[in-house]
Structure 1
Amino acid sequence: MQISLRPGLKLAHQLFNDSDRLMALMILSLHALLIWGDSIDLHRALFLCHYGCFLMWQPVMRQSKTLSWQAAFLIVIGAAVGMLFINWWVIAFWIASLFALIGGRIFSEETSRDRLPNILASTYLLAILLLWVVPKLLKSNDDLAAAAFMLTYFLPLLPLAILFLSAKHKSKAQSANIDFFYTLLIFLLSSIVILGSFAIGVIWKIHYIKLLIVVVMSLAATLVVLSWLWNPSSSFSGLELLMSRYLLSIGLPFEHWIRQIAKYAEYESTAEKFLQAAMRELVELNWVSGLMWEAEGSKDQIGEATPFISTFTFHQLHLTLYSRWQFSPAMYLHVQLLTQILGEFYEAKRREEMIVQNTYMQSLYETGSRLTHDIKNILQSMGTLSAAAAQSSDDGSDDARLIELVKKQIPRLSQRLASTLTKLELPSTEKKSQEKVANWWKGFKQLNNNLQISFEAPINMPKTDIDPDVLDSVVDNLLHNALEKAKLEANTIIKVSLMPSAHFCLEVTDTGSAVPKNVVDRLFKAHISSKNGLGVGLFHAAQQARNAGYELSLVDNQDGEVRFRLEMVEEDKTLTA
């Protein structure tokens, strides 16, 4: 017995778990109700069968959803009313509703295989409506007597074909997609056909075939005209633009709102002022009674509070809107769009303020760091002078030479310090001094003569003028780094060479270890962490040299030979860059 029940259970499972096959059963039960439901008892039985198939197929509530007692009560009331008060008018609009539900789903299906069952079902419903139900309303059965046999026995082949369609390539998760706009449009068109056919048939008293042709052709002509008016040409947008504007604005000044918000975002200097101006503009709308908003820890309110409250949150803005009446769903979505635009503009203003603040802080940091670097180099030069004084002999033989060195270097250090203080007070004002290479080289050698550094220079010095403040700052930084390396690595030789070229070119070389590769990649481009000093010296030295018309580079980097070059950039190279 169990073996004989298995095919039946399998068939029932295939029927009741497939939306298209349930739709086919519903249409077949409707066909039986329309054709063979003349007797009262058979009519009620067929109606209950059709009503049950519809409940299992209907796309509004899922089959797995638990019914509430209110929904169950409505289902029972619908069955009772259908059995007691059904007539051809009720049947006509019922079929129009089914046609709208099924026809509206055609536009939401992705593939032709998924659309085919809905197309077959819609074809059946439209045919049975125009060729069977409407003639019953007009009592014109004799006009379609020749088509009665075809309607009775051949039209059901359409829903039967749905039952036997292959379900192999059908998506497993069948969702009840209902396009409200298309469904409503199809229902209205079906209602126009029903009522138009009835009105013309009653007034003109013409043959039903002629009547059907007049109604269908009139409706087709109307749709053609509307489709042309929807988008008639590229120069005139037609009804499409009017409909889009209405759906966007719902009768509200959407475009005016966008222009005003953009104007406030452009002219208001701060995000807070922009927000206040936007709120004053929003409260002027006739459906807004008051507003309360919270942003960045501060609260503010404008207008009057009402019982109709809507809340919106976008980024850091929390907005409470008091309206003069309760919003409909469409109105709420529109208000959400308006407030979201406000929130996005407000967030953009906040980011703009943050960028300006970060730029200001970055400028302060770079200026302070650069001036700190200059002062550090000056202090290093003063330390060199102190070291020279400490190394002088006790018998006083070197006092005259030391005094001469101090007389020459103290004014230069004082000048560099004064220049640094001027940059601190007026960062945009920088005065450049000029000096011959020979004079600068002589003073530079005297200042660093007591250090373990060897100096090389050609017989014929370059004739170009140089900026001594820039060279002192940059070269002092290079020497300081080399001396720090010499403290950690014994037997390191440091050499400063003035190259024999027409323009100024100086190299600082040491025989210590090479600069690590990860440091070389960022050298002169960004701040680098350093075990000694501030770790920003070479970065600011390179910037200072570049601004003065020089180029600082690492030309050799290997163990035993690390060479930095400071070279004046030629004019033709500057123009090419």
Structure 2
Amino acid sequence: MARAEIHLAAQRYEHVILAVMLLLLHLAVWSEPVHPLGRSLLLAHLGMFLLWQPIWQRDRRLDARGLLLAVAAIAVFVWLSSWLLLFGWLLLLIGLIGGRTLLAREERFTYLLALVIVVSDLLIRVTPAYFGIGTINPDVIGLFKYGMLPLCLATALVPATRAPRLDYPVDLFRALFLALVIALLAMASLLNMYRNEVEYPLALFQSLVAIGIFLLLLSWLLSPSSGVRGLAQLWDRSLLNIGTPFETWLAELARCAQRCRTPQEFLEEAMQGLVELPWIAGVEWSGETTAGRAGKPTPHAIPLEMDDLKLSLSVHGSAGPAMLLHCKLLVQLLALFYLAKEREQELARQAQLRGIYETGARVTHDIKNLLQSLQGMIAALQSDLPPAPPEEERRRKGQRSLNLLRRQLPLLSRRLQLALDKLQAPESGSEARTPLREWWETLKTRYRDEGYRFEAALQGNPGIPTELFDSVAENLLENARLKQQTETGIGIEVLLEEAGGQVVLEVRDTGSPLPSELARLLFTGPVDSDQGHGIGLYQAARQAQVLGFDLELVANRQGEVRFRLSGPVQAAEGQYPLFG
């Protein structure tokens, strides 16, 4: 509880701690580092630094060894304090203060003010004192010596409005860059002073202007509005690169995904490519359906887990935060491609099963129609056999029954063969075609005794997909026949037109219209049906769509219910002989 309270207090009063730390540092810098007062102030400054520092969590309990090392380091630093140590310490503070990742405007203003104080102490006090520069105007020294005191106190007056957080991130790249720029500014000022024999303040001002112009020019070149895209691209690529650019790895994964058919093959090939990276020695992976190993294991392993895929990357040395992040990004790309490959395989499997299911549904419907045809033939044959017919009547009806069998049995045999072919090759893309006139005559023969009206206007004799036209005609005529059983006086008409490479088949009846909800769902999926599965017209519509035809309900009102099948046909004059 006490540690948590200390942690919350440190968060709440962080700007106050920072102000006290800067004030003690400023007083220590402007005192002699070897003077007892200067060392005492420096010791107090280091104590406040431990409360403020963004490296370790403030509520972390130090063990005996860590506490001993911290005390020993502080004691050595204070005992050996000199201008050189202060120079290095201020550079470190500049990096920590400038590298903080800040979100609120108040925080940015506070730390910008702190950065001004520390940089001023380094350039105005520590650098001249270390290099023995005594030509600085006393008024300038007094301005910075006493003028920075109000700034130190001003950092404590800025309200802390940010939300509490558990970590205190420091951008290492920004921290190093800022510390190196300030060090370069100090060295450039000294070099300019000795080379051109000018006073230190003037040399510092000239170096500051030169470095500022250089940074502004570099920032402009890296901005998208400058029009110089090559340098910005190189900069972005270098930030994401520790030996293997992301676009190269992404292209390699895409090539592997195209070459490999199964997820297992893709994973094995991708892992081989991962091992070829110069900083990865080996990799071991395992999942629900795959496991393997590539390369050589090392004592330095990086365990990673992406969904159901677990990996262990073996690297040549201890992995730092940058390498860990890079490994996670590379493996995440690999895992995404692997999951996409698994989904692709699952979709292909579902498509295959769906094709088998739809074929089975079509065959079931065809067999139902065949059974109905057989039942109709049996009923016709039984009606032609009275108990004791005269000899002439028996011979006449027997001849009629024989003609019926001769007419229908070849049709039934052909339809059974088509159903068997579909069961043996459900995904076959071939489609049997029949001359249009031959199919029309067969259809009229099949329904000769049903009382339907057939009309045709044909210019040629192209080939049509037999299974599609049979399925559509049988479904539509069967539905019309069922309506005839419940509604009296219904007429059924079948029309066929062909001209200019287009064929139109229509089935009309004069009964009641279909319900609006049923009409809307008729071709989009199975519907409720009392006589079957309600899937016949849905299957026929899907088959028509695949073959480039349209099956639609063009009229649905009282006295006129009209279905139409239309589409292009193979205009093959001379390929099929014309009848008549």
TM-score by shorter chain over 0.5: yes
Partner of 2:551: 551
CA apart distance, 1:523: 1.0
CA apart distance, 1:90: 2.1
Q: Counterpart of 1:94 in structure 2: which amino acid?
A: W
Contact preservation (8 Å) 1:32, 1:46: yes
Task: Give a deviation string over 1:160-214, Cα, whole Å, max 9, x none.
Answer: 22333355xx223266342221111111222334455556667887533244235
* 2:97 alignment partner, one of 83, 93, 102: 102
Partner of 1:165: 158
What is the alpha-carbon distance in structure 1 between the residues aligned to residue 206 and residue 117 of structure 2?
21
Q: Counterpart of 1:154 in structure 2: which amino acid?
A: G
Partner of 2:536: 537
Structure 1 residues 469, 323: CA separation in 2 closer, same or farther (over 3 Å shift)?
closer
Pick which of 211-220 and 175-184 moved more: 211-220
What is the alpha-carbon distance in structure 1 between the residues aligned to residue 85 and residue 398 of structure 2?
124
What is the alpha-carbon distance in structure 2 between the residues aligned to residue 196 and residue 89 of structure 1?
17
Partner of 2:574: none
Structure 1 residues 308, 132: CA separation in 2 closer, same or farther (over 3 Å shift)?
closer
Contact preservation (8 Å) 1:437, 1:464: no
Task: Give a deviation string over 1:136-157, Cα, whole Å, max 9, x none.
Answer: 2233345231223323333212
Contact preservation (8 Å) 1:437, 1:462: no
Partner of 1:463: 457
Partner of 1:135: 128
Q: Secondary structure at the match of 1:249?
A: coil
Partner of 1:213: 205
Contact preservation (8 Å) 2:237, 2:245: no
Partner of 1:434: 436
Q: Counterpart of 2:411 in structure 1: which amino acid?
A: R
Contact preservation (8 Å) 2:301, 2:313: yes
Partner of 1:373: 365
Pick which of 392-401 and 370-379 moved more: 392-401
What is the alpha-carbon distance in structure 2 between the residues aligned to residue 24 and residue 308 of structure 1?
43
What is the alpha-carbon distance in structure 2 between the residues aligned to residue 172 and residue 285 of structure 1?
42
What is the alpha-carbon distance in structure 1 between the residues aligned to residue 338 and residue 400 of structure 2?
69
Partner of 2:114: 121
Partner of 2:506: 505
* 2:46 alignment partner, one of 51, 65, 84: 51
What is the alpha-carbon distance in structure 2 between the residues aligned to residue 462 and residue 483 of structure 1?
21
Q: Counterpart of 1:137 in structure 2: which amino acid?
A: Y
What is the alpha-carbon distance in structure 1 between the residues aligned to residue 565 and residue 247 of structure 2?
59
CA apart distance, 1:430: 0.9
CA apart distance, 1:381: 0.9
Pick which of 94-103 and 429-438 moved more: 429-438
What is the alpha-carbon distance in structure 2 between the residues aligned to residue 176 and residue 194 of structure 1?
29
What is the alpha-carbon distance in structure 1 between the residues aligned to residue 29 and residue 276 of structure 2?
59
Using structure 2 for the length normalisation, give the TM-score: 0.77
Partner of 1:474: 472
Identity of aligned residues (%): 28
Contact preservation (8 Å) 1:509, 1:562: yes
Structure 1 residues 406, 251: CA separation in 2 closer, same or farther (over 3 Å shift)?
closer
Q: Secondary structure at the match of 2:107?
A: helix
Task: Give a deviation string over 1:480-517, Cα, whole Å, max 9, x none.
Answer: 45676788xxx544734217897753224556x95472
Partner of 1:144: 137
What is the alpha-carbon distance in structure 1 between the residues aligned to residue 79 and residue 548 of structure 2?
101
What is the alpha-carbon distance in structure 2 between the residues aligned to residue 65 and residue 470 of structure 1?
77
Contact preservation (8 Å) 1:312, 1:320: yes
Q: Secondary structure at the match of 2:99?
A: helix
Pick which of 464-473 and 330-339 moved more: 464-473
Contact preservation (8 Å) 1:293, 1:317: yes
* 1:277 alignment partner, one of 256, 264, 269: 269
Whether 1:569 and 2:575 are equivalent positions in the alignment is no
| Counterpart mapping for 1:398-413 below 5 A | 399-413=398-412
What is the alpha-carbon distance in structure 1 between the residues aligned to residue 436 and residue 295 of structure 2?
68
What is the alpha-carbon distance in structure 1 between the residues aligned to residue 543 and residue 246 of structure 2?
54
Structure 1 residues 295, 441: CA separation in 2 closer, same or farther (over 3 Å shift)?
closer
Q: Counterpart of 2:93 in structure 1: which amino acid?
A: L
Contact preservation (8 Å) 1:499, 1:505: yes
> Unaligned 5+ residue runs, structure 1?
1-12, 449-454, 573-577
What is the alpha-carbon distance in structure 2 between the residues aligned to residue 304 and residue 36 of structure 1?
59
What is the alpha-carbon distance in structure 1 between the residues aligned to residue 565 and residue 289 of structure 2?
55
| Counterpart mapping for 1:151-550 below 5 A | 151-167=144-160, 170-173=161-164, 176-197=168-189, 207-217=199-209, 219-220=211-212, 223=215, 234=227, 237-238=230-231, 240-252=232-244, 256-392=248-384, 393-396=386-389, 397=393, 399-421=398-420, 427=428, 428-435=430-437, 443-448=445-450, 455=451, 457=453, 461-464=455-458, 473-478=471-476, 480-481=478-479, 492-493=487-488, 495-498=490-493, 505-508=506-509, 515=515, 517=517, 519-528=518-527, 530=529, 532-543=531-542, 547=547
What is the alpha-carbon distance in structure 2 between the residues aligned to residue 469 and residue 133 of structure 1?
96
Q: Counterpart of 1:76 in structure 2: which amino acid?
A: V
Structure 1 residues 278, 516: CA separation in 2 closer, same or farther (over 3 Å shift)?
same
Contact preservation (8 Å) 2:471, 2:540: yes
Structure 1 residues 261, 146: CA separation in 2 closer, same or farther (over 3 Å shift)?
same
Task: Give a deviation string over 1:377-434, Cα, whole Å, max 9, x none.
Answer: 1221111111223344323355554444334333333343344445556741312243
Q: Counterpart of 1:341 in structure 2: which amino acid?
A: L
CA apart distance, 1:442: 5.7
Partner of 1:5: none
Q: Counterpart of 2:490 in structure 1: which amino acid?
A: K
Pick which of 386-395 and 180-189 moved more: 386-395
Q: Secondary structure at the match of 2:302?
A: strand
**Pairwise CA RMSD:** 4.2
What is the alpha-carbon distance in structure 2 between the residues aligned to residue 204 and residue 469 of structure 1?
98
CA apart distance, 1:533: 2.5
Partner of 1:68: 63
Pick which of 524-533 and 384-393 moved more: 524-533
Task: Give a deviation string over 1:283-312, Cα, whole Å, max 9, x none.
Answer: 344444444333453433344333333333
CA apart distance, 1:539: 1.3
> Unaligned 5+ residue runs, structure 2?
1-7, 498-503, 570-580
Using structure 1 for the length normalisation, give the TM-score: 0.78
What is the alpha-carbon distance in structure 1 between the residues aligned to residue 180 and residue 521 of structure 2?
72
Q: Secondary structure at the match of 2:457?
A: coil
